[in-house]
């Protein structure tokens, strides 16, 4: 049996080997099938710190922590001493001092976690950091739950044709998914407004117009148009976007029989995806959210094991 993954922190998918990804998927599928959770002889205290808005990731991590038997300490960034100017490091040092040993953090700054994990010998912070999304950088838990959802449908990645469609420039989900999917052997295509495709993505795949790829793809990953991250918003018409780049009912009818649609959420209904397709047979939107809890359990467990938390079983 493959040894279970052990990590000090879970920050990015960039250093994961394929067999480690497969191990995480296996473990998440085990939890999903009702497999027993590990028993800990000492309590493990965790905190979820979301400095950017979130529904899925925040609640899903909290559900995963509860299912694993962790004690979650409430933290509200809007009423915390961050608003008095306390740094992220000092905030975590405070929580660590009162007994918290795991922090799930979402932050608008790319690689915010460097200051929390690259410590000098005067710094005493001793916490596992799990990245719940950093700016336009990485979203490891969304990426891994996406891999689990694709694996559940096809049983493999090699040779699958995957289109990533929409606001590529601003998407940490796209950046994480394209890298891991390519590493796992899938073939990546990009679509949506061409101005959101840049040379940064060329090593992963080419740009193709949505109408030219729709009947060829096994997986279509739609991205939310992230208006809040656009520096200068050109006049945006939801109807025009939907008709030119969105997954319309007409395009849905042209998809391969076994193909699936994914979307990390939140969905702009009628923009990236026709509202009536959100729960259509090919949509895996709800499955992704369901799988997220079990994948996050596997990720948290990897950090618990890496740091030797919870005492002896
Ligand atoms: N997919 C995702 O990150 O959703 P939330 O922003 O609601 O967490």
Atom of ligand 1 nearest to the CA of 57: 8
Mean pLDDT over residues 260-264, rounded? 98
Q: How many angstroms separate the alpha carbon of residue 52 from the centre of ligand 1?
A: 10
Q: What φ, ψ does residue 222 adopt, rounded to 5°?
A: -95, 140
- The mean of the pLDDT values for the chain is 96
- The pLDDT, as a whole number, for residue 232 is 67
CA 274, distance to chain mean position in Å, is: 23
105, 131, 133: which to mutate for ligand 1, most atoms within 8 A of CB? 133
pLDDT at 313 over 70: no
Tens of pLDDT, residue by residue over 76-95, are 999 999 999 999 999 999 99
| Residue 37, pLDDT above cutoff 90 | yes
Strands, sheet with 205-207, edge to edge from the N-terminal-most edge strand = 205-207, 187-191, 161-165, 219-222, 260-262
Ligand 1 pocket test, pick from 51, 53, 56, 131 with the greatest ligand atom count within 8 Å of Cβ, gives 56
Helix (H), strand (E) at residue 134: strand 128-134
Atom 6 (ligand 1) nearest CA: 54
Give the confidence band of 226 by pLDDT, cuts at 50, 70, 90.
confident
Distance 121 CA to ligand 1 centre (A): 35
Q: Spell 203-234 as b/e; 16+ CB within 10 A means b.
A: ebbebbebeebbeebbbbbbbbbeeeeeeeee
CA distance 28 to 5: 12
CA 173 / ligand 1 centre spacing (Å):
10
Residue with tokens 């100017």: 85
| Own/partner long-range contacts of 151-158 (Cβ < 8 Å, ≥24 apart) | 151/25, 152/29, 152/287, 152/291, 153/219, 153/258, 153/260, 153/284, 154/218, 154/258, 156/185, 157/181, 157/184, 157/185, 157/186, 158/184, 158/185, 158/186
Question: Measuring from atom 4 of ligand 1, which residue has the nearest CA?
Answer: 56
Backbone angles phi, psi at 161, to 5 degrees: -95, 120
Q: What confidence tens digit (pLDDT) does each residue in 145-164 have?
A: 999 999 999 999 999 999 99
pLDDT attached to residue 23: 98
Q: Where are the alpha helices (DSSP H) in 185-313?
A: 210-213, 238-245, 249-253, 285-307
């Amino acid at each position: 049996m493959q040894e279970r993954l052990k990590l000090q922190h879970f920050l990015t998918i960039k250093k994961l080997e394929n067999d480690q990804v497969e191990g995480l998927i296996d473990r998440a599928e085990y939890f999903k099938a009702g497999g027993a959770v590990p028993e800990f002889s000492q309590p493990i205290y965790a905190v979820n710190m979301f400095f950017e808005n979130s529904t899925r990731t925040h609640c899903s991590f909290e559900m995963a922590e509860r299912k694993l038997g962790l004690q979650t300490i409430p933290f509200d960034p809007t009423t915390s001493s961050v608003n008095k100017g306390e740094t992220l490091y000092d905030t975590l040092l405070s929580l660590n001092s009162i007994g918290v040993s795991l922090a799930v953090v979402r932050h608008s700054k790319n690689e915010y976690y460097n200051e929390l994990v690259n410590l000098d010998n005067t710094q005493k912070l001793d916490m596992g950091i799990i990245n719940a999304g950093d700016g336009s950088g990485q979203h490891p838990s969304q990426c891994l739950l996406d891999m689990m959802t694709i694996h559940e449908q096809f049983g493999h990645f090699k040779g699958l044709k995957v289109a990533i469609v929409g606001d590529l420039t601003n998407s940490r989900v796209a950046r994480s998914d394209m890298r891991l999917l390519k590493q796992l052997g899938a073939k990546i295509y990009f679509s949506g407004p061409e101005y959101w495709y840049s040379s940064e993505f060329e090593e992963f795949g080419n740009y193709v117009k949505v109408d030219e790829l729709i009947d060829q793809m096994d997986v279509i990953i739609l991205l939310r148009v992230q208006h809040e991250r656009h520096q200068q918003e050109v006049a945006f018409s939801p109807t025009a976007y939907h008709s030119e780049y969105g997954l319309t009912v007409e395009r849905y009818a042209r998809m391969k029989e076994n193909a699936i649609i994914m979307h990390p959420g939140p969905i702009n209904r009628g923009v990236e995806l026709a509202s009536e397709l959100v729960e259509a047979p090919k949509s895996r939107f709800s499955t992704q959210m369901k799988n997220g809890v079990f994948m996050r359990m596997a990720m948290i467990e990897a950090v618990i094991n890496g740091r030797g938390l919870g005492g002896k079983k």
